[in-house]
Amino acid sequence: MSAKYLHYSYEQLKTFCMDAFQEFGFNSEEARIITDVLLLSDLYGIESHGMQRLVRYHKGIEKGMIKVDAKPEIVFETPVSAVIDAHDAMGQLVSHQAMELAIAKAKKTGMAIVSVRNSNHFGIAGYYAKMACDQGLIGMAMTNSEAIMVPTFARMAMIGSNPIALAVPAEPYPFFFDASTTVVTRGKLEVYNKMEKPLPEGWALNKDGHPSTDAKDVLKNIVAKNGGGIMPVGGNTEQLGSHKGYGFGMIVEIMTGILAGGVTSDEIRKRFDCDRCSHFFLAVDYGMFGDREETERRLSAYLNKLRESQTAQGAPCVYTHGQKEMLACEENLRRGIYLNDKTLEEITALCRELGLPPETYLIPVPQEAPEG
């Protein structure tokens, strides 16, 4: 039976996450940052990295993979760069710290890069790119992760989902790009598994390296390192550009695990009982290249031309990157964040485990009846 969805108030879910993360052992400011990252994903309509991740984070803390009391440490620094050892901290917290440092350096020097090693899952990469964008800078974020990408012609997963995010100020809303270098993320397979739906063709491979639509089997093989996983952007053949997605994944691997002195995706959750993933954060003051306002005007004008360009027959419109996220955010704040019943069951059980009353937080938002 497929999962069913209901909408829940953003403010109530925010209160729940704040309370839950403090029950996990984080202070109120730490809980606020983690909650902000988590719920921005749901507001943007990225279910795979939102509330459905909460229980997984709790399990990571219980197993000692995520250390609540970790003290991230700057182990190398120059005026335009830094390397932070997270010491197994919550990924959102060390990543927020790292991008704040990159922003501060960029405002002084024009640009800065901060890399992080020995961290954990940090949520959506776009959150950190947006941090710089909100400060009037170009922001970029990347991370490696547990190996789920099967390289072109390979059978074993060797590279993570390895997303790339870039945000640049513009009007009426920024250019905002956030995408994995795999066709989809692991979280998307988890959502399909919860819905008990077959995967679309062209997403995943079984342990023999052949196409698969069985989410449960693919996820099991990823965890057990049996072979198979998710295809790179471009699928699993060179004819459709598989080697390009594979190459983009490698670029992220170099800029994260290699530059930070951390581990590569194939070693995450293999050599250690924790993620130990690495991140990359870049902030650029584009005033280094001329008049800032003129740069923003030119980008805004070009994005507008794209949106107003002729559509293919039957297509609704031409979107620019970030447009759908802004529209989804407005809609989800109004209607509430949608959760499927499997995620709701997990959150309800977590409430009871933490001694929090689920009926206080998990109240469905009534939806408007369709006209006519």
Output the pLDDT for position 93.
Answer: 98
Identity of the residue numbered 258: I
| Tens digit of each residue's pLDDT (9 = 90 or more) over 242-267 | 999 999 999 999 999 999 999 999 99
Per-residue confidence at 65, pLDDT binned at 50, 70, 90? very high
| Tens digit of each residue's pLDDT (9 = 90 or more) over 136-146 | 999 999 999 99
Q: Which of 105, 89, 81, 73 minimizes the C-alpha distance to 33?
A: 89
Cα separation, 12 vs 89, in Å, equals 27
1: its two tokens: 């039976």
Per-residue confidence at 372, pLDDT binned at 50, 70, 90? very low
| Tens digit of each residue's pLDDT (9 = 90 or more) over 273-327 | 668 999 999 999 999 999 999 999 999 999 999 999 999 999 999 999 999 999 9
Cα separation, 29 vs 6, in Å, equals 29
| Tens digit of each residue's pLDDT (9 = 90 or more) over 168-218 | 999 999 999 999 999 999 989 998 998 899 999 999 999 999 999 999 999
DSSP-assigned states of every residue in 16-43: HHHHHHHHHT--HHHHHHHHHHHHHHHH
Longest alpha-carbon distance in the chain: 64
Output the pLDDT for position 2.
Answer: 59
DSSP-assigned states of every residue in 201-232: TTSEE-TTS-EE--HHHHHHHHHHT-SBEEPB
The pTM of this model reads 0.94
Could you tell me what percent of the chain has a pLDDT over 90? 88
In the predicted structure, residue 366 carries a pLDDT above the cut 90:
no
- CA of 85: how far to CAs of 120, 212, 283, in Å? 11, 38, 19
Per-residue confidence at 85, pLDDT binned at 50, 70, 90? very high
In the predicted structure, residue 105 carries a pLDDT above the cut 80:
yes
Output the pLDDT for position 231.
Answer: 98
Task: Please state whether the peptide bond connecting residue 172 to the residue before it is cis, i.e. omega within 30 degrees of 0.
Answer: yes
Per-residue confidence at 150, pLDDT binned at 50, 70, 90? very high
Domains (ranges, CATH) in the chain?
1-62+336-372 (1.10.1530.10), 72-180+241-325 (3.30.1370.60), 184-230 (3.30.60.50)
199: its two tokens: 């995967």
Per-residue confidence at 370, pLDDT binned at 50, 70, 90? very low
In the predicted structure, residue 148 carries a pLDDT above the cut 70:
yes
